[in-house]
Amino acid sequence: MNLSKPHFEHAKTDEEPTANRSILRSTYIERRLSDLYGLGKWTECRYWLRGLNDTYRVRTQDGGAYMLRIYRAESRESDIAFELELLERLQAELFGAAAAASPAVRLADGRLFSALPAPEGVRFAALFREAEGAEDPMQDEASCIAFGRSAAELHAAMDRVLPRTAAGDFDAVRGAGRAANGAAGAAASEPPERAVSGEACAAEPLPPRAPADAEVLLRAPLRMILAQIGEDHPKAPFLRRYAQGLEAAASEAVSGGLDFGLCHGDMHGNNNALRQGDLFTHFDFEFAAPGWRAWDLAQVKNRKRQQSERIEPLWQAFLEGYRSVRPFSAADEAAVEIFRLVRRFWTMGLDAEFAPPWEGALDFGEDWLAGFAEEFRRHPLGKAADTASAL
């Protein structure tokens, strides 16, 4: 069995989970995992951050500094395997670059992740060396240029890890993504200007990963939203039409051909990278998947903590840095605007999927819905959907 791709069916149970989401005690985690890594005595295991997953800060007696991720129970083993194997393969490709990505620490038996029983079911765990550096708020052009170069070097490395495929329209990307990840990946077309390292070509194909297509970015989020508010909610027709409008606009944007390849998946820059000089160490690759680079970079422009009048100048500075390393065409740049809207709809779907059972439905009711609806209506696509749904 490939030790980097463990299977944990033995840890599954047919019993009904007793919790939606638990917070595992640090003492329980340390007792179950510390001996499996062979890193010596753990001197600290502290619950550090609650997000879609839970993060614990780990310290060892020899001075080792780590971050332990306990994935939510809904995380699929194949997706975790994709993420962690991708991080390992990026190491050689990013050597000497302005971008870095910390791989998971292997367990003593060679595996990249383990499994923990929890009240809500099996939760997988992966340990990472703590990335050095500090968060850069990127409020000036110089910082954005540096981050743009780093993002481009990350994309270039991803192209070498997994050759890019030719992508068709917004619906066809699922087939393209399967071709890129399957055993027949050698048939994937690689532009002649992009060389693929012999090591990457010889490596076993990455585990399968669903591409960021219309199903992942729009249709599944719509189902989650409607499940939360009710299929017959007065705002349901508007949301359906808005999602359809987004899908049609995205399909038109990509029909002319855009840069397609592996994406980070959450590259907003606020908390997915730490900076040391001009080196950015990227992390949080949970949503890494084949997709359009316009989708990936749209999240940079969508990032929080920006004053509205500074968004465009900082975005142009980012693109200056990015284009100093690899191309990003005018068509790609134009597509960013529709993917910014797609990203916000996807975020609403993420809220609807996880927040109510984890945080309580009270804060995700009519006010939450009205806030997103108001935001969507500010765009012409939203205005058109609102008018059509009122007929």
Q: What CATH number did the domain enclosing 333 receive?
A: 3.90.1200
Q: Between 197 and 353, where is the model more confident? A: 353
User: Which pLDDT band holds residue 54 (cuts at 50, 70, 90)?
Assistant: very high
- Nearest one of 295, 262, 265, 296 to 165, comparing CA atoms: 262
User: For a pLDDT cut of 70, what percent of the chain falls above it?
Assistant: 86
As for how many domains the chain has, the answer is: 2
How many angstroms separate the CA atoms of 303 and 310, rounded? 12
- Nearest one of 123, 124, 147, 130 to 46, comparing CA atoms: 130
Is residue 2 domain-resident? Answer: no
Same domain, 242 and 167: yes
Give 270-298 pLDDT, tens digit per residue.
778 999 999 999 999 999 999 999 999 99
Give 15-30 pLDDT, tens digit per residue.
789 999 999 999 999 9
H helix or E strand, kind and range, residue 212 = none
Same domain, 337 and 382: yes
- How do beta strands 54-60 and 114-118 pair? unpaired
Flag the least confident range among 81-90, 221-230, 262-271, 338-347: 262-271
- Nearest one of 249, 213, 222 to 372, comparing CA atoms: 222
Same domain, 356 and 251: yes
Last residue of one domain, picked from the residues 74, 101, 129: 129
Structure-token pair, residue 44:
């600290």
pLDDT value, residue 35: 96
Residue 56 identity (one-letter amino acid): Y
Last residue of one domain, picked from the residues 104, 129, 154: 129
Same domain, 36 and 125: yes
pLDDT value, residue 256: 83
Same domain, 174 and 226: yes
| Neighbouring C-alpha atoms within 13 Å toward the C-beta of 136 | 26
Look up residue 3 and give its DSSP letter.
Answer: T
How many angstroms separate the CA atoms of 367 and 240, rounded? 19
Is residue 136 domain-resident? Answer: no
Same domain, 21 and 94: yes
Residue 30 sits in a domain whose CATH number is 3.30.200.20
Structure-token pair, residue 225:
């939203």
Give 144-156 pLDDT, tens digit per residue.
999 999 999 999 9
Same domain, 58 and 155: no
Instruction: Tell me the sheet residues that pair with 45.
Output: 58
| Total length of the chain | 391
Flag the least confident range among 73-87, 150-164, 367-381: 150-164
Instruction: Tell me the sheet residues that pair with 125.
Output: 70, 114
Same domain, 54 and 112: yes
Is residue 255 domain-resident? Answer: yes
Is residue 3 domain-resident? Answer: no
Same domain, 120 and 220: no
Is residue 15 domain-resident? Answer: yes
Same domain, 41 and 105: yes
Q: Kindly report the average pLDDT of the chain as a whole number.
A: 88
What contacts 357, CB < 8 A, 6 or more positions away? 20, 21
User: For a pLDDT cut of 90, what percent of the chain falls above it?
Assistant: 76
Same domain, 192 and 46: no
Last residue of one domain, picked from the residues 65, 95, 129: 129
Same domain, 101 and 178: no
pLDDT value, residue 43: 98
Q: Is residue 254 within 8 Å of 335, Cβ to Cβ?
A: yes
Instruction: Tell me the sheet residues that pair with 274.
Output: 281
Is residue 135 domain-resident? Answer: no
Parent domain of 100: 9-129
How many angstroms separate the CA atoms of 345 and 152, rounded? 25
The three-state secondary structure class of 206 is coil
Overall average pLDDT of the 351-367 stretch = 92
